[in-house]
Chain A
Amino acid sequence: MMQELDLKTVGSRATKVDGPAIVTGRAQYADDVQLPGMVYGRLLHNPHPHARIRRIDTTRALAVPGVVDVVTGADLPDLDLFATDEVCYQGQKVGVVVADDPDVAADALELIEVEYEVLPAVVDPLVALQHDSPPVRLDAPASEHKDADGRVLPNVTTHGELVEGDVERGFAEADVVVEAEYNVPFFHQNYLEPNASTARLEPDGRITIWTAAQGSFNIRDAVAGALRLPHGRIRVIVTQVGGAFGAKNGIFVEAHAAMLAMRLRRPVKITMRRDEEFLDGNPAPGCHVYLKTGARKDGTLTALEGRIVWDRGWLGGGGAANRLRGLYRIPHIKLESYGVRTNKPRPGAYRAPGSIQTAFARESNMDLLARKLNMDPVELRLMNAISTGDPSLNGTPLEKDWLRLTIQRTAAAAEWGKRKLGPNQGIGIACGEWTNGAGPSNAFITLGEDGSVTLLTGQVDITGLHTTLAQIVAEELAVDLTKVKVTLGNTDMVPYTALSAGSLATYSAGTAAREAARRARHRILRAAAEFLEVDADQLEMGAGRVVSRSDASLSVGLAELAASARRSSEGPISGQWVLGSLPTHPSYSVHIATVEVDPGTGRVRLLDLVAGQDVGRALNPMLVEGQIHGGATQCLGLGLMEGYKYGGNEHLLNADLVDNPIPTAMDVPVIRTVMVEEPCSDGPYGAKGVGEPPMIPGAAAIANAIHDAVGIRVTTVPITPERVLRVLQAGAAEQA
């Protein structure tokens, strides 16, 4: 049972503190920053997947009236802001034009002459993996990785292996084995707000940057690194963030705007267009997975063997394989992972990075296994799910039976096994796991002399954090929620704060806010004790006042107390908390999708989605439901329509929101949420991170539902009508 706390504001469906500003258009997003004397930068992007730059001539661009500056790599010999010799992906930055009008900058952009020598390119990670693949980068350090025949693999940047037990033995013990190959393309976060950054050189020589990001300090550090400046030269102010989903962890155009502001001694704004976001953003990496799962007749998993090839774009890098095991007990495991370079942009984080792709493969294989065993997919999962005391993915033992509870309650809500489905309709289940991060974070609380409370934190609010923090402060200080104002501190105002990413923000800043509020509360009670001349332990707080428990006529309002504290020896009333880290716990999500497949066109219509999640405690159920709805929709978008497509010439074919679509209101069914509230021992009031888990299982749940509906298995996302029809026809041909 849920631990009963007497909570008033925490746990309520409080509306967003920034709601009125958002809904009236007053909230200020990155591109809304306008400064006197501001000029506009527009970037020049390379059009080839791979090429050598022979020559750049900016003379004609510089001559355009209204153009203030044209900068290429040749002007910045010590910095890596622009490619100078080799370009390794379509969209790589080659130069920038600054003008007093964005359209004039675009005019001048057309007049920059760049001569390219086109080089062979590779965008398929399985091709890039081979020894005879064209090299993605000519200037890359020689690869240390070789194939079985000793030949150098030029584009392989990492190779890892995870072995537990004896996988051969595990398969020998198995009565049933399934294996399949899965593909996930690059896919984009598609936050609605394109990146925009404005930079200004201050009179003291420092630089201020306004940008929409998930953390001001990461931006400060990255800009300092890119421009080779000490951190202290840079101040970052994060604006309202118009969607981020992991993408806005790092810099896009911040360093370019700052460099130009220093050069020109004028404020400079650079706003990316939607096509630039696709070409030169940091989408989620794609991968190719081979996965083999073995089980005994009774369904007990015995072995898992897999190989995952991560498509890491032009800079390469690694990617884990352990998430392929995820959330099941499996004694014998052998998982191999490769990170390969391709002529694509460098991928970044996207809501539950690594979990989405691996869950698609893992949960599809579990469904195949259930079919082969003739076992209920829910039963199979319950049987193998890790339970209380079992090690979770990061090794810590599970405090509670969270996963199994989430499976059971979601299945019950979806009436699993009881629903009557029509022809070509099917139902499918899949599970996901995410362990949130924690800290560093902070909270600084001040009691105002009008009885209001100010909370200052460095933790960026992406979609509701500050509302939840205000609830926590209101709860602890027993004041009305409207009395609490939350301010985001910039890099000059607060200590280093982690990114609001990986579902850590509420977990970390929520803890900091609660601890800071408790300190403020002690301080208030001491001040009130002095004021009322009673013992502090005789006092309690409520409705913005401090009252004596024994004599209700003895009381003082917070406003009066704050005013009198000015003159006290301890000074004005405040409370603060800075935290480094916290123990964390895994959170689980379970999706059950019901679909209908049009056997003529291959179109899949989602009839219903039940999204269950182990949330610890919902500090604001309305906001948590919102996270579940949104995450689930993004994953069903990946499942059915999203993803980068490349043509025969290695060019990106779909750098726009029509051909690289995201779901519209007409593509999404009503999503029913199931919140499993079994608090963990370390999050604020038992809460766990809630942002990533709903993103994880949806695509596999859809694939499994399609299999249930029409008896076919699609192993590549997005599961487009064309893919469904192709597999349907292949199946029909096989039967014929």
Chain B
Amino acid sequence: MKQQIVTKINGQQHVLQVSPRKTLLAMLREQLQLTGTKEGCGTGDCGACTVLLDGQPVNSCLVLGVEIDGREVITIEGLDNDGELHPVQEALVERGGMQCGFCTPGIALNGAALLQDNPDPDEAQIRRALAGNLCRCTGYVKIVEAIQEAARKWREKSATRTPAPEPADG
């Protein structure tokens, strides 16, 4: 029996009829043709299916479609800003932080979430944040470099948008 859900995906409101046993991943790929989200294992062990659920990275293979009723999802198709790549996306391309690219959407989303939380992560923090995103091609070296580069871009961007607040007791 399908259930109706109302959800926002990549900024757009959707009213969907979903069978409860469909995962969010299956719903995105089969029902909405948002195939940028990948299935690498189906068991939460590889991170290829990472999406942002209310801003937080989750494995969409372990979330039911019906669970996102009233919630907001960003997939890789919604990470760029009208064609302008997110700094993480840009850096992954520029630094060669991808080879076959199958893990890349998940890494881009998780990297973007990391910078949202921590605009200046050190290498260990980046590696820990990405531990749930397996990559078989790159050995992670250039991915980590790309996230570091993206963090620099991200900070520059935020600095130009909102001037840093003066220290309260300064």
Contact present for B142 and A657 (CB under 8 Å)? no
Contact present for A633 and B36 (CB under 8 Å)? no
Contact present for A191 and B136 (CB under 8 Å)? yes
- Interface stretch of the complex, out of A14-22, A85-93, A558-566, A714-722: A14-22
Give per-residue flags for A528-553: 1 if the beta carbon is below 8 A from chain B beta carbons, else 0: 00000000000000000000000000
From 44 to 91 in chain B, residues with beta carbon under 8 angstroms from any chain A beta carbon are: 45-46, 48, 75-77, 79-80, 85, 89
- Would you give the shortest CB distance from A350 to chain B, in whole angstroms? 12
- Would you give the shortest CB distance from B88 to chain A, in whole angstroms? 8
Contact present for A194 and B36 (CB under 8 Å)? no
Instruction: Give A194 to B43 CA distance when docked, in angstroms.
Output: 13
Q: Tally B residues with Cβ within 8 Å of A.
A: 59
From 10 to 69 in chain B, residues with beta carbon under 8 angstroms from any chain A beta carbon are: 19, 21-22, 26, 29-30, 33-43, 45-46, 48
A192-B134, A192-B136, A630-B139 known; A24+B76 contact, CB < 8 A:
yes
A192-B46, A657-B45, A668-B139 known; A23+B98 contact, CB < 8 A:
yes
Q: Chain B contacts of A241 at CB under 8 A?
A: 100
Least CB separation from A633: chain B residue: B139
Contact present for A192 and B48 (CB under 8 Å)? yes
Instruction: Give A463 to B103 CA distance when docked, in angstroms.
Output: 13
Q: Chain A contacts of B76 at CB under 8 A?
A: 23-25
Q: Does A626 contact B (CB under 8 A)?
A: yes
Q: Which of A24, A29, A657, A664 has the most CB of B within 10 A?
A: A24
Contact present for A657 and B41 (CB under 8 Å)? yes
Chain A: interface secondary structure?
A: loop
Q: Does A622 contact B (CB under 8 A)?
A: yes
Instruction: Give A18 to B94 CA distance when docked, in angstroms.
Output: 12
A25-B75, A665-B140, A665-B144 known; A194+B39 contact, CB < 8 A:
yes
Contact present for B102 and A243 (CB under 8 Å)? yes
Q: Tally A residues with Cβ within 8 Å of B.
A: 57
Contact present for A243 and B137 (CB under 8 Å)? yes
Least CB separation from B130: chain A residue: A665
Q: Does A371 contact B (CB under 8 A)?
A: no
Partner of A16, one of B34, B77, B98, B140: B98
Contact present for A29 and B96 (CB under 8 Å)? no
From 450 to 499 in chain A, residues with beta carbon under 8 angstroms from any chain B beta carbon are: 462-464
Q: Chain A contacts of B133 at CB under 8 A?
A: 665
Instruction: Give A190 to B137 CA distance when docked, in angstroms.
Output: 10
Q: Does A208 contact B (CB under 8 A)?
A: no
Give per-residue flags for A82-109: 1 if the beta carbon is below 8 A from chain B beta carbons, else 0: 0000000000000000000011000000
Instruction: Give A629 to B126 CA distance when docked, in angstroms.
Output: 18
Q: Chain B contacts of A622 at CB under 8 A?
A: 95-96, 142
Q: Chain B contacts of A25 at CB under 8 A?
A: 34-37, 75-77, 105
Q: Does A297 contact B (CB under 8 A)?
A: no
Q: Which of A26, A28, A32, A665 has the most CB of B within 10 A?
A: A665
- Would you give the shortest CB distance from A42 to chain B, in whole angstroms? 13
- Would you give the shortest CB distance from A190 to chain B, in whole angstroms? 6
- Would you give the shortest CB distance from B53 to chain A, in whole angstroms? 17
Least CB separation from A15: chain B residue: B93
Instruction: Give A695 to B153 CA distance when docked, in angstroms.
Output: 34
Give per-residue flags for A651-679: 1 if the beta carbon is below 8 A from chain B beta carbons, else 0: 00000111000111110101100000000
A629-B141, A630-B139 known; A240+B101 contact, CB < 8 A:
yes
Partner of A274, one of B40, B93, B99, B137: B40
- Would you give the shortest CB distance from B102 to chain A, in whole angstroms? 3
A192-B46, A665-B127 known; A24+B99 contact, CB < 8 A:
no
Q: Does B92 contact A (CB under 8 A)?
A: yes
Contact present for B89 and A23 (CB under 8 Å)? yes
Q: Does B104 contact A (CB under 8 A)?
A: yes
Contact present for A463 and B100 (CB under 8 Å)? yes
Q: Chain B contacts of A463 at CB under 8 A?
A: 99-100, 137
Q: Chain B contacts of A671 at CB under 8 A?
A: 139, 141
Contact present for B143 and A665 (CB under 8 Å)? yes
Partner of B43, one of A462, A656, A665: A656
Q: Does B161 contact A (CB under 8 A)?
A: no
From 93 to 147 in chain B, residues with beta carbon under 8 angstroms from any chain A beta carbon are: 93-96, 98-105, 108, 126-128, 130-144
Q: Does A34 contact B (CB under 8 A)?
A: yes
Q: Chain A contacts of B128 at CB under 8 A?
A: 665-666
Instruction: Give A720 to B85 CA distance when docked, in angstroms.
Output: 42
A23-B85, A670-B141 known; A29+B102 contact, CB < 8 A:
yes
- Would you give the shortest CB distance from B132 to chain A, in whole angstroms? 8
Instruction: Give A634 to B134 CA distance when docked, in angstroms.
Output: 12
Q: Chain B contacts of A668 at CB under 8 A?
A: 139-141
Q: Chain A contacts of B139 at CB under 8 A?
A: 629-630, 632-633, 663, 668, 671
Partner of B142, one of A23, A240, A626: A626
Give per-residue flags for A222-254: 1 if the beta carbon is below 8 A from chain B beta carbons, else 0: 000000000000000000111111000000000
Instruction: Give A190 to B48 CA distance when docked, in angstroms.
Output: 13
Q: Chain B contacts of A330 at CB under 8 A?
A: none
A22-B101, A192-B102, A625-B142 known; A665+B80 contact, CB < 8 A:
no
> Given contacts A630-B138, A633-B139, A671-B141, could you give 17 more A-B pairs where the C-beta distance is less than 8 Å?
A23-B76, A23-B105, A32-B29, A191-B100, A191-B102, A192-B40, A192-B46, A243-B102, A243-B136, A273-B42, A274-B42, A463-B99, A464-B99, A633-B138, A657-B134, A663-B139, A668-B139
When A and B form their complex, which 3 residue pairs have the shortest distance between CB atoms, in order from nearest? A25-B36, A242-B102, A22-B101
Provide 22 A-B residue pairs closer than 8 Å at the C-beta atoms, listed in order of the A residue: A16-B98, A19-B98, A25-B76, A25-B77, A28-B35, A31-B38, A189-B136, A192-B103, A192-B134, A193-B40, A194-B40, A623-B96, A625-B96, A625-B141, A626-B96, A626-B137, A629-B142, A632-B139, A662-B134, A665-B128, A670-B141, A671-B139
